[in-house]
């Protein structure tokens, strides 16, 4: 951490290093508008590279600046980023109440959950008023522990007719309510968070507040909800400005106090995630607190099992050999004992370990039987240049015949 006046490229707090396997890594980034293009989004590509290189589990994006209903669905992030991760889920929120909506819609938020953590995800949601003020992902750990991750944008006051502030002002006037959109934002968000806390949820709020995160209003907001701003609390001082031309930190991560145990985080150098005039903020929380540790890895790409499931001979052989393998490891007896324990007493850690061990034995037995039932004979014919020429010869004449029938054939196929 530097003691001199920070430049726009400085980082603040701890430097982001390799992620602890039993932690959840989150990043908040004011994206300054997603570049929606047929050639692909440069900013989304930069986000994917950063998240992959640094093992980020959740990304919260603010100020997306897109009215997604006015955009071709093929250009939505869900489609553009398909297959970029093992698993991924996007949730985007924008002002759906504007009667004169255009492809450019000021502000709006998004949240992205990727890879193994996605298997913990429950039904997501967003601002019920349809103003795109926030959206959330709900993750479920063991023992019914729930983590609610919220991405939010608090609009700044503006007289511009197309600004987010004025759009929300017009909406509230149609509801016969005379209120300040900023005040109403805090009231509605506070009500939503209290409801989630009453349900037993841990809270992580990643937000662009457009106000000093240590201001009196936000301090009161946090005290009433028993939240803490993680980065400033971690280092017990005000962070550097998060906007390129700002004087205060206006982006912050507000979390339940219980999540502060073993937390690490900081502010990244400007432009480290993508081109933006806001610094990104990162935070690692302990997964054990929300019972999401020791996540099972997902196999990628999925392996082909090559079983002939419609051949009665193969099916009979598979079932016969599998029964023999399961008898060797006493699966029936172990299953009956576990079922009896589950019905008559409390399920303890010892039973959980026994269940997982039994499940692993069954999986290994199935894989062994599958190998015995497969009939793959590859590699018996050695490769030779003459073989390659013969294959190309066949492909050429097949291509010529297909072209004569009026079909389109690539010229690369006909190069022989």
Average pLDDT along the chain, 416 residues, taken 10 residues at a time: 49 89 94 89 93 94 92 91 87 89 90 87 88 93 90 91 88 89 94 95 95 93 95 89 92 94 93 93 93 62 64 85 89 86 80 87 88 66 73 84 82 64
* Long-range contacts, 303-310 (Cβ 8 Å, 24+): 305/370, 306/374, 306/376, 307/370, 307/373, 307/374, 308/373, 308/375
Look up the pTM and report it: 0.71
Q: What is the pLDDT of residue 2?
A: 41
C-alpha–C-alpha distance, residues 208 and 105, integer Å: 17
pLDDT of res. 266: 94
Q: Cα separation of 137 and 118, whole Å?
A: 10
Sign of CA dihedral 244, 245, 249, 250: negative
In contact, 334 and 370? CB cutoff 8 Å: no
* Cα–Cα dist 389/293, whole Å: 54
**Taking a C-beta distance cutoff of 8 angstroms, is the pair 68, 118 a contact?**
no
**Quick one: which H or E segment has residue 357?**
helix 349-373
* pLDDT for the residue numbered 195: 95
Q: Which backbone phi and psi does 403 adopt, to 5 degrees? A: -65, -35
Tokens of 273: 């995630």
Beta strand pairing status for 125-126 and 109-114?
unpaired
């Amino acid at each position: 951490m530097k003691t001199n006046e920070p430049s726009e490229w400085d980082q603040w707090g701890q430097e982001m290093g390799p992620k602890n396997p039993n932690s959840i890594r989150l990043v908040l980034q004011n994206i300054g508008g997603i570049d929606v293009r047929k050639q692909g989004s440069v900013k989304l590509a930069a986000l994917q590279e950063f998240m992959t290189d640094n093992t980020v589990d959740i990304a919260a994006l603010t100020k997306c600046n897109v009215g997604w209903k006015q955009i071709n669905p093929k250009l939505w992030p869900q489609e553009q980023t398909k297959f970029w991760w093992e698993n991924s889920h996007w949730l985007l929120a924008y002002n759906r109440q504007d009667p004169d909506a255009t492809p450019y819609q000021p502000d709006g938020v998004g949240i992205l959950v990727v890879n193994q953590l996605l298997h913990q995800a429950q039904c997501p949601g967003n601002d019920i008023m349809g103003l795109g003020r926030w959206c959330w992902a709900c993750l479920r750990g063991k023992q019914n522990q729930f983590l609610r991750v919220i991405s939010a944008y608090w609009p700044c006051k503006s007289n511009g007719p197309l600004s987010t502030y004025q759009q929300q002002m017009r909406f509230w006037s149609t509801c016969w309510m005379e209120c300040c959109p900023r005040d109403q934002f805090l009231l509605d968000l506070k009500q939503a968070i209290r409801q989630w806390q009453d349900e037993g949820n841990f809270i992580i709020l990643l937000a662009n507040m457009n106000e000093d995160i240590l201001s009196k209003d936000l301090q009161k907001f946090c005290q009433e909800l028993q939240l803490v701003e993680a980065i400033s609390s971690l280092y017990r001082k005000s962070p550097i400005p998060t906007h390129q031309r700002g004087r205060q930190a206006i982006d912050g991560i507000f979390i339940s106090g219980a999540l502060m145990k073993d937390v690490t985080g900081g502010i990244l150098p400007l432009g480290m995630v993508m081109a933006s005039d806001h610094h990104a903020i990162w935070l690692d929380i302990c997964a054990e607190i929300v019972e999401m540790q020791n996540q099972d890895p997902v196999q990628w790409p999925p392996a082909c099992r090559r079983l002939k499931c419609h051949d009665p001979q193969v099916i009979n052989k598979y079932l016969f050999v599998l029964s023999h393998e399961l008898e060797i490891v006493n699966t029936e007896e172990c299953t009956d004992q576990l079922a009896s324990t589950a019905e008559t007493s409390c399920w303890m850690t010892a039973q959980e370990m026994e269940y997982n061990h039994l499940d692993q034995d069954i999986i290994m037995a199935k894989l062994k039987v599958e190998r015995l039932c497969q009939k793959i004979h590859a590699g018996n014919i050695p490769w030779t240049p003459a073989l390659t020429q013969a294959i190309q010869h066949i492909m050429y004449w097949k291509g010529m015949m297909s072209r004569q029938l009026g079909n389109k054939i690539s010229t690369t196929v006909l190069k022989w």
